[in-house]
């Protein structure tokens, strides 16, 4: 068969051109979250603004997939990114789904909150928004070496299995 323009055109999937397949834009969020000054490749709104906007402008985009692999960092940058993604999702009426890869901890978990749904592998490390602050007190030479332990947490499960407290059976079961 002779190769003519008409023969070549007849082999093109014209239906596919007329009705393009829906697209899911993938937006990778990988690394430490922080301002541009401290980390040149950090996750922050300044570094991601164009990529976030582009993801929502992909032709025939029907959803955004956030792939998250971050141990956390700046709560300010985390919140700014989440706010921008939610604004565009609402404005463009495009749903966002978050996928925790290896780690979505602290601010990384906060990034996942930009999604309508969060997905994670059973071995992914996910969670831990909050801070633990532990220290020692020394009143009256720790009451003649009776030593007092002080622990301040932002949640009831933040100091499980503290070596300075008696072991609690339900905490041991939770950790197993």
Selected catalytic residue, list 36, 158, 170, 173 = 158
Mean pLDDT within 30-34: 93
Distance CA(82)–CA(89), nearest Å, equals: 10
Distance CA(87)–CA(99), nearest Å, equals: 19
- 29, β-bridge pairs: 68
pLDDT of residue 46: 92
Mean pLDDT within 29-49: 85
pLDDT of residue 128: 74
pLDDT higher than 70, residue 143? no
pTM given for the model: 0.66
158 is catalytic: yes
- What confidence category does residue 166 fall into, taking pLDDT thresholds of 50, 70 and 90? low
Distance CA(78)–CA(29), nearest Å, equals: 11
pLDDT of residue 100: 95
Instruction: Calculate the average pLDDT of the chain.
Output: 81
3 is catalytic: no
Residue located via tokens 């906060």? 110
Question: Structure tokens of 3?
Answer: 């190769």
pLDDT higher than 60, residue 133? no
Q: pLDDT tens digits, residue range 74-128? A: 999 999 999 999 999 999 999 999 999 999 999 999 999 999 999 999 999 898 7
Q: What percent of the chain has pLDDT over 90?
A: 53
Residue boundaries of the structural domains of the chain: 13-127, 132-175
pLDDT of residue 20: 77
pLDDT higher than 80, residue 29? yes
Domain 13-127, what fold?
2-enoyl-CoA Hydratase; Chain A, domain 1 (3.90.226)
Residue located via tokens 């009831």? 156
pLDDT of residue 170: 79
pLDDT higher than 60, residue 138? no
127 Cβ contact partners less than 8 Å away, ≥ 6 residues apart: 104, 105, 109
Selected catalytic residue, list 70, 74, 106, 128 = 106
């Amino acid at each position: 068969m002779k190769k003519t323009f008409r023969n070549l055109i007849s082999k093109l999937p014209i239906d596919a051109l007329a009705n393009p397949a829906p697209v899911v834009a993938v937006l990778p969020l990988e690394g430490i979250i922080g301002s541009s000054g401290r980390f040149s490749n950090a996750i922050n709104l300044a570094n991601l603004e164009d990529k976030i906007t582009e993801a929502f402008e992909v032709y025939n985009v029907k959803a955004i997939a956030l792939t998250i692999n971050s141990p956390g960092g700046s709560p300010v940058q985390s919140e700014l990114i989440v706010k921008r993604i939610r604004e565009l999702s609402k404005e463009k009426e495009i749903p966002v789904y978050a996928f925790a890869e290896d780690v979505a901890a602290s601010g990384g978990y906060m990034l996942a909150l930009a999604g309508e749904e969060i997905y994670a592998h059973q071995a992914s490390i996910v969670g831990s928004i909050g801070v633990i602050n532990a220290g020692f007190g020394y009143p009256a030479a720790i009451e003649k070496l009776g030593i007092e332990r002080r622990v301040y947490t932002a949640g009831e499960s933040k100091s499980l299995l503290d070596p300075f407290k008696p072991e609690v059976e339900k905490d041991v079961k939770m950790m197993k």
